[in-house]
A and B are shown apart, each in its own frame.
Chain A
Amino acid sequence: MSLSSTTATPAASGEKVIKTFREAISDALWEEMERDERIFIMGEEVGVWGGTYAVTRGFIDHFGEKRVRDTPIAEQAIVGTAVGAAMNGLRPVAEIMTINFAFLAFDALINHAAKARYMFGGQFTVPLVVRTTTGGGRQLGATHSHSPEHLFAHFPGLMVVVPSTPHDAKGMLKAALRQDNPVMFVEHSTLYQTRGEVPVGDYTVPLGTADVKREGKDVTLVSYAKMVHVALDAAKQLEKEGISAEVVDLRSLRPLDIGLVIQSFKKTNRCVVVEEAHALYGVGAEAAARIQEEAFDWMDAPVKRVSTEDVPLPYSRELEQSALPNAQKVIRAVKEIL
């Protein structure tokens, strides 16, 4: 990784403002496009429509059609064309409307974006950011409700970022746009309206770093993206019962900052992983494996997983909600191992 992606740039002033997750991402894109002419956006409905989640509203008027490019509904072409443009000197931000459609571009992401450098002996760089949205809970049925970011993180060569706060989203998107590796930047679709403090002025958050979102001493809750908020909610309720939970936000699935997880675990000796994906072969499985490999002597209980039920997500609201992780499920899991 290049220096710019591993070193945080602190904001010049200590001043902060409240921004939504959407505004934070939009600001990052806007500021970086102002800074670097090579950055452009391409994807479905990013221009005239303003982005299906309104992240790029107003961009086409300011930056023009050359730099804000509406594409046909053609995910293979969107990602593949962005890879070629990145190899030849540009810094594309390719938008895949939802991660469910990224399955259509799996080959372009895995066989091309992630392999172009290694396969030709390091001749090519692919400074590409693929922005996409993830998550269930919106009654969109089985095909539009996946949370498969860990699948994309399986492959060397492709970074996967999964922020949970406006602060991290802005800082990590900026970091992604200032380094030379392909990055999948995954935004949870139910977080766009959430608010949080964002520093005034330019700053970055290094890719591949986890963050402790709440300190505690009895159990470590490991999570990412929206599930960080579920974990924080559970931690708050547990506190009332005298249980102190530490919440570790992975923020990035590749590179994975397992060091911070291990550090936290050595303090609490217990861990529950909260993930919106299915459990099988998931982030929880990885965390459990790494904890027993690297902190076996500190284990006081089995590592538990709270994941989405092993079924396709249904439409009906209550049925869908029953399949997804929630604070009550996390609390139950914590109590099982205390």
Chain B
Amino acid sequence: MALTKEQKLEAYRMMMVIRRFEEKCAELYAAGDIGGFLHLYIGQEAIAVAAQYALRPDDNIITAYRDHGVALVRGLGTKAVMAEMLGKATGVSKGKGGSMHLASKEKRFWGGWAIVGGHLPLAAGLALADQYTGSDRITLAMMGDGATNIGYFHEALNLAAVWKLPVVWLIENNQYGMGTAVTRASAVADIAKKAEAYGMPCCMQVDGMDLLATYEMIQEAAEYVRSGKGSFLMEVITYRYRGHSMGDPERYRPAHEVEAKKAEDPIDRWAAYLLSEGLATKEDLEALDRAADEEIAEAVAFAKDSPLPAPEELYTDVTV
């Protein structure tokens, strides 16, 4: 299904909201308002937005710790997500999860998991439950390139293939697992080829800086999986402009590499597309930019004004 004009403009707005959200997070981290680890999605925004449009709202999404973008496209709300960053009671996980552990059961966004690869069998399990109950929901499991070298990846994909589980395995290849380049960590630099080992369609690779292309491939994958053919693996080539987490000295890549990649910026490319197709004017886009700024400012105000978790919250939610 092709995106409508409204969806295309909304996609721009969502990408811009993610970008501004992440920039604000970096600021708040430097100011000491956000603690722990903070993994920014800047440069990768098009993937989460494409996924949101390619899936049904009741499909499952699960991802790793670079999860802000997915949380925002899934509708968890800038306010509740920002409140979680600040460890407030109004946060999506009541201030108990932080940046890496965002989730909304209601929106079928199952987290936000911080052990590399650990969420991949969980994705298989989510899909198993739907297959078991006869639902036609599918599960999108997003992961970084680094996760494709860990045991969890191979065990989960193998089991998913044996049981024909309805999972789209989406690898966000941002070129580095922390500071180690894909070519230095993976025997097969072409990660999409790993699909072949599990009898999945090979070798699905797409440019993650291209929103439309990414959307189309996820849609194709979703259709394949929903039709009962089993799992589908796809690799999305992307790039993160910021370090792995905050305080990354970035000794593993030259500054000019980052600058060169910014020329392929997914938001800039999408803006150019909207303008060239006559879907928006420069003023329209500027208005959306301003709206994003305002939304983030409101989210920060909400988060800062929100109460801290009550002391007794320490002991709640450990067990049912």
Contact = CB atoms under 8 A, between A and B. Distances in A.
B186 to A, nearest CB: 19
B158 A87 contact: no
A281 interface: no
A121 B97 contact: yes
Interface in A174-229: 179-181
A84 B115 contact: no
A302 interface: no
A29 B96 CA distance: 35
B96 A72 contact: no
Given A40-B132, A72-B162, A77-B121, A84 B93 contact: no
B122 A87 contact: yes
Contacts of B159: 71-72, 74, 77, 81
A88 B60 contact: yes
Nearest to A94: B125
B12 interface: no
B125 A84 contact: yes
Interface in A71-125: 71-72, 74, 76-77, 79-90, 92, 107-108, 111-112, 116-125
A156 interface: yes
B96 A120 contact: yes
Contacts of A111: 115, 118
A119 B320 contact: no
Interface centre among A108, A123, A125 (most CB of B within 10 A): A123
B155 A72 contact: yes
Nearest to A74: B155
B121 to A, nearest CB: 3
Interface residues of A, number: 43
Contacts of B60: 88
B120 A80 contact: yes
A89 B97 CA distance: 22
B130 to A, nearest CB: 7
B152 A122 contact: no
Contacts of B62: 84
Nearest to B98: A119
A85 B318 CA distance: 19
A81 B131 CA distance: 13
Contact of B96 (A85, A86, A119): A119
B318 to A, nearest CB: 5
Contacts of B132: 40, 66, 85, 90
Interface in B276-320: 316-320
Interface residues of B, number: 46
Contacts of B94: 121-122
A296 B316 CA distance: 31
Interface string B109-150: 011110100111111111111101100000000000000000
Contacts of A72: 155, 158-159, 162
B219 interface: no
Given A72-B158, A81-B122, A84-B121, A121 B93 contact: yes
Nearest to A89: B129
B84 to A, nearest CB: 9
A24 B122 CA distance: 31
A122 B91 CA distance: 12
Interface centre among A66, A81, A86 (most CB of B within 10 A): A81
A165 to B, nearest CB: 25
Interface in B71-101: 91-97, 101
Interface of A: 1-2, 40, 66, 69, 71-72, 74, 76-77, 79-90, 92, 107-108, 111-112, 116-125, 156-157, 159, 179-181
30 contacts: A77-B124, A77-B159, A80-B121, A81-B121, A84-B124, A84-B129, A85-B126, A85-B132, A88-B129, A90-B128, A90-B129, A108-B118, A116-B111, A117-B318, A117-B320, A118-B96, A119-B93, A119-B96, A119-B97, A119-B101, A120-B96, A120-B97, A120-B105, A121-B93, A121-B317, A123-B104, A156-B318, A157-B318, A157-B319, A159-B319
Identify the 7 closest CB pairs spanning chains A and B, nearest first: A84-B125, A80-B121, A121-B94, A122-B317, A88-B129, A77-B155, A84-B122
